[in-house]
Amino acid sequence: MSNERWFLPVKSRSRIALASIVAASALLLTSCTSTEAKPIDDHAESLGNDQAGLVTDAVQNAMALSGSTQAVVGVWTADGDLVRAYASEGAEDDFDANALLRGAQTTQPVMCALLLDLVDEGKVSLDREVAQDLPRQTGIGDITYGQLCDGTSGLSDFKKEYTGLYITNPERNWSTGEKIAESLILGELPWPGKNVYRSDSNAVLLGRALKIVGNESVAHQLEERVFKPAEMNSSVYLSDGENLTLPGKNTLTGLAYLPGPQCDADPVDVSEQSPSILGAAGATATTVGDIKRFYERYLDGGFGGKNASVITETNPLKNPERNDDGEPTSDPDTAGPQLGFGVVNMGPLWGSDGALPGSITAAWHNPETGFSVVVALNNSTAGAQFATTLAQQIAALLGESGDAWSADDMAASLAKQQVCAPKAE
C-alpha cells in the first residue's frame, strides 16, 4: 500500500470553530492569557501545486519512517505558503493545521528572548553572574546569564540518564531543583567559558534566575514579553506538574515505542505527560504558526534592542582540541553547525529542534529570504534530529538550502534514521 493511502491531508476546519477550540484551550492552560489575543488561523495552501506535492510526499514518507500517525508542517516562501495537517485514516476530525503541540526545545529560545528583553530594560546584564541572584544555589560558580544562552556555561545536560524513564513514566513530576542537581552531579563539561555545548540545563537554570530578576512567574513574563510581541496568540508556558494533557481536541497526540525501541509491540500513548520533564527548557504549548512568528521576530532583532546582535554571534558546535592552557590546537570548524544565542546556524538557516515523549519538532528560518519551515511529528522515537532532517529536505526541495545539502542527501539520511525498519529476509 502506498504512503498516500496510509496518510491523507486533513481538511481545514472553519475559522469560527477553530478559534473557539484554540481559544478555549489557551484559557484552560493559563489564567494569564489575554482575552484580547485572537488565535491566528495559519492554514495556507498558496504554494504552487508542484512544490506543495513535493512537500507532501516528503512529509508522508517521513511519517512512515518514524511511525507517526499525525504531522503538522508549515512552509512559508516568497512564492507562497503551505501550512497543513497530515494524518492517517481515522484521525480525529478536529485535527488541523492549527493544532496545539508541545514545542519542546524548539521553543527553548523564548527564554533567551525573555533574557534579552530584561537586559534591554536594565533589569540584568549578560555578564552578570547568575549566583548573585541565586545565592543559595551551590555549584554554579561564576556562570553568567549570557553563557546560559551562548552555550559556554559548562553545565551538563540533566537528561543524560533519564530519557528512557520519560517514556515509561511520562507523568512523573521533576522539580527544577532536581534537574539542576542532576546536572551538577554529572559534572562540569570541559573548558567552560571556551567550549560550547547544547544543554537543557542552561535554560532550566535561566528560568529559575529570571523568575527572581523579573519578580514574576516565568509563564507571566513569557506571555507579556515574548508571546504577545511575537503574536504567538495560541502559545502558553505550562507550569511544572500541571496540565498533563493539551486541552481540546485539536492537538498533536503523542506516540512512542518503548525504549529499545521495542518494535514487536505497538507504540504507547504518551499524550499525558508532565511539562516538568523540560520545564523552562521547553514547556511551551504552541502551534507551527506561532513558532514561525517567534523565529522571524527573534532573528530579525525584535528582542533586546541593541543587544539583539548577540543572537547571530556564533561559535562552532564542534569544539576544537585544546592545549593545557585552553588554547585551540586546530582551526575552528567554520563549515559545520554553529551555535548562536540560543539558536543553531546551518548553511543559510537558523533555528532549533526538540523532542518530548510523543512528539518531535524543528523550526528553521532564513532571515535573508524570509523562508521558514516548521515541522512536528507525533512519534518521538526517531528523535529531534529526524525532524531537522525532514526540515532540511523540504528546504532543499524548495531551493532554500543553498549548496549546504541536497534533498537526495536528506532523503537518504531519513531512511537511515527509520524507526523499527523491517527485518531483511
Read off the CATH number of the domain in which 94 is found.
3.40.710.10
**pLDDT attached to residue 38:** 87
**pLDDT attached to residue 14:** 32
CB burial class (10 A; 0-12, 13-18, 19+) of residue 29? buried
**pLDDT attached to residue 33:** 43
pTM: 0.91
- Cα 409 to Cα 313: distance, rounded to the nearest angstrom: 28
* One-letter amino acid for residue 213 of the chain: V
Tell me which residue range forms the domain holding 219: 3-416
Count how many domains the chain has: 1
Closest CA relative to residue 201, chosen from 217, 188, 219: 188
Query: Where do runs of H (alpha helix) occur along 133-274?
Result: 147-150, 163-168, 176-186, 200-214, 218-222
**pLDDT attached to residue 31:** 38
Is residue 423 assigned to a domain?
no
- pLDDT < 70 positions in the chain: 1-36, 90-93, 240-242, 423-425
Is residue 425 assigned to a domain?
no
Is residue 421 assigned to a domain?
no
- Cα 22 to Cα 247: distance, rounded to the nearest angstrom: 9
Is residue 359 assigned to a domain?
yes
Is residue 422 assigned to a domain?
no
Is residue 248 assigned to a domain?
yes
Terminal CA-CA length for the chain: 19
**pLDDT attached to residue 273:** 95
Is residue 424 assigned to a domain?
no
**pLDDT attached to residue 11:** 37
